[in-house]
Each structure stands twice: as structure tokens, then as C-alpha cells.
Structure 1
Amino acid sequence: MKKNKIPLETNFCAGYVSGNPFKAIEAFFAFARLDYYKQNLTELVICSYKTKVYEQDNPSNAFVFYTAIFSFLKLCYCLQEKSKKWKVKAYSRSETVFHLSSLTKEEYDNPFIVFQKAFEEKTFKEFEFFLCLILELSLSPYAEDPESDLTTPYIHLIKMLDAAGLMRERGVEKIKKTDQIAT
């Protein structure tokens, strides 16, 4: 059976296509900061349960956000496979609970685990459905109780955003063959 590959088109950056997900992460965070993505994702989910329309003055912002997050989701899907050849550089400063954000200590040490766990629990299509559903519900002036679970994909996306931000902050390096033999 042929394995389908998901293209790394980053739709939020006009004309930018990358085969390197680490460069695409840089472009993703050049578009907006981590807190912007987390805040808007949270607002979209909250608006999904209310009659309040997301950004009533300019709801088209939801489509821009959707495009960026969908591109990010593609990157995350590709990053789950990169853990075999890449690792996040060691962090020298002492860490506090605040720096871990939504990540566990294990996920903080190896952010690739976040992507693997997310796609073990939910498929790419389920995450895509989640994004479409919150977009639809957050732009609707009617309160509907979604029949689908919004919490699990939301938590995974927040964790993936934190993991990607951590990877960007600390940088990545290729695993040397001697490191692979030792593990």
C-alpha cells in the first residue's frame, strides 16, 4: 500500500513552500507569536459554545487563523517522523515549572513526543475536522452543542504549539550515529 505524504505548503506565507519543517516553523512563528496562536485558538473554541461570533467586527480573521493553524498541523504531522533523525538541543539554563507550560517534563526534554502522542490518539483528518468544526461553530450566531469532542484536539494543539515554540527557541540538531547506537 502506498503511503500518502502531506505536502508542507505553508499557505499563510504567500509563495513559501518548504521541504524542511524546521524552516517552516520559523516562518510560522515569523507570521505571529506563540501567544497569538494560543489565545486565538482558545477564543475560537470558546466561541464554538456561545452565540457570540468570533471577532464580530471582522470575522474573516478566523479564516486567516484557520489557514495558519492548518499549515501548522501539516508541519506537526511531519515532525512526528523527524524524531528518529533529529533532537532538540540541550537546554543549559535552569528550568522552572512556568517554562514547561502545557508540557510534561518528558515532553519538555523531547518535544517530538508531543507530536507522536497527538497523532497516535487522533488522526490528521480528525484534527482537520476539529479545525473546520470550531471555525464553523465560532462564526455561527447560534449556540450549538458540538457532537464531537473539542477538548482533546484542543489540548493536543496547545501542546504542539508549545513544543514547536520550544523547538524554535532551543534549536534542533541531527542525531549522530554514535548517539543512535547508545540509545
Structure 2
Amino acid sequence: MKKNKISFETSFWAGYAGGNPFKAMNAFFDFAHIDYYKQNLSQAVLYCYKKEIYKQDNPSDAFVLYSTVSSFLKICYCLKEKSKKWKVATSSRSETVFCLSSLTKEEYENPFMVFQKAFEEKTLEEFELFLRQILEFSLSPHTTDPDPDLTTPYIHLIKMLDAVELMRERGVEKI
């Protein structure tokens, strides 16, 4: 039975269409640092509740954020599937960057758990809908209380960013 491959749609921001989630993950963080993604996602969510427009001085940044994070979600979905064949290398040194991260101790030990939990609770389509909704609400000049739950997918997304960064730092190896 042939598996359907998910297109990461990285050609817009990375310059090539990647099929390997580990290479696409590296390209994602080569494009921008984790702090850029966390800060811009946080700002977009905050602007959902404000009358001001997110990135009013350069609205194309919102499109770039949407494109990159949408690709990131697809990469994370594929990493969830890879968790059966891959594991994160154990590190003897202490990673000080992640002392205060969003990951629990179990997730810190096995970052693949983050993807499994996230996609058990929400589907890939629901995460993409969340992304479209925060950009719609944050780019709107009207103040309305967004009806959908924006907090749960946001927390999962921040955890996925931390998990992928930890995977990059430690490296992955085949089981």
C-alpha cells in the first residue's frame, strides 16, 4: 500500500521543495531563529484581541509567517510518524537553553512525545485553521473576542518549536 506524502511547501521560503522532514526542519531554522517564530506567533495571538493591526508597517511579514509555520506544522506531522523509527540522541551534557522551556521532563527526554500529544488532540487541518484564524483576527481592525480556542493550539505549537530545536541540538538516530 502506497503512503501519501505530504508536501512541506518549503519552496516559497526555503527556495527548494524538501521531502525529508529532517532537512526541512533544518531549513526552517536556517530561515529564522526560534525566538523569531515564538515572538511573532505570540504577537499575532495578542493582536487578535487588539484593535491595532498586526504588522501594519509590513503586512507581507504575516504572509511569510503563515507560510513558514504552515510548513513547520506539516514537518511536525511527519515527525510524529517518524517517531516509530527514530529517536533523539541522548546527551551527556546539560542543555542550558532548555532549562526554562515549555517541555515537561518526559517531553524533554523524548521530544517525539510532543508531536504525538499535539496531533492526538488536534488534527493537522485544525492546526492550519488555527494559523489562518490568528492571522485573520490579528490583521483585522475590529476588536472582537475570537470564538475559537486559540490557547490550546498555540501552546502545542510553542512546545513543537521547542521540541524541534531540542532535536536539532541533540541530533536524531535511527532505532
For the criterion TM > 0.5, the same-fold answer is: yes
Are 1:76 and 2:76 matched, yes or no?
yes
C-alpha RMSD over aligned residues: 1.8
**Percent identity among equivalent residues?**
71
Distance in 1 (CA, whole Å) between partners of 2:42 and 2:29 is: 18
2:21 corresponds to: 21
**Unaligned stretches of 5+ in structure 2?**
none
Size of the aligned set, in residue pairs, is: 174
Note if 1:143 corresponds to 2:138.
no
SS of 1:87's partner is: strand
Q: What's 2:152 paired with?
A: 152
Q: What is the one-letter code of the residue matched to 2:147?
A: E
How far apart, CA to CA, are the structure 2 residues paired with 1:18 and 1:68? 13
Partner AA of 1:49 in structure 2: Y
TM-score, scaled to structure 2:
0.93
Cross-structure match for 2:49: 49
Contact 1:100 1:108 in 2 (8 A): no
Q: Which residue of 2 aligns with 1:12?
A: 13
Cα contact 1:12–1:71 (8 A) shared by 2: no
Judge which range, 156-165 or 49-58, deviates more. 49-58
Pick closer, same or farther for the CA change 1:86–1:3 going to 2, 3 Å.
closer
Q: TM-score, normalised by structure 1?
A: 0.90
Measure, in 1, the Cα distance between the counterparts of 2:135 and 2:3. 29
Deviation at 1:13, TM superposition (A): 1.1
In the alignment, structure 1 residue 58 sits paired with structure 2 residue 58: yes
Q: Which runs of 5+ in 1 are unaligned?
A: 176-183
Larger radius of gyration: 1
Q: SS at 2:87's partner residue?
A: strand
CA shift in 2, pair 1:60/1:95, >3 Å: closer
CA distance in 1, matches of 2:91, 2:146: 41
Letter of the 1:148 counterpart: P
**Structure 2 CA distance for partners of 1:98 and 1:86, relative to 1, 3 Å:** closer
Distance 1:28 1:3 in 2: 24
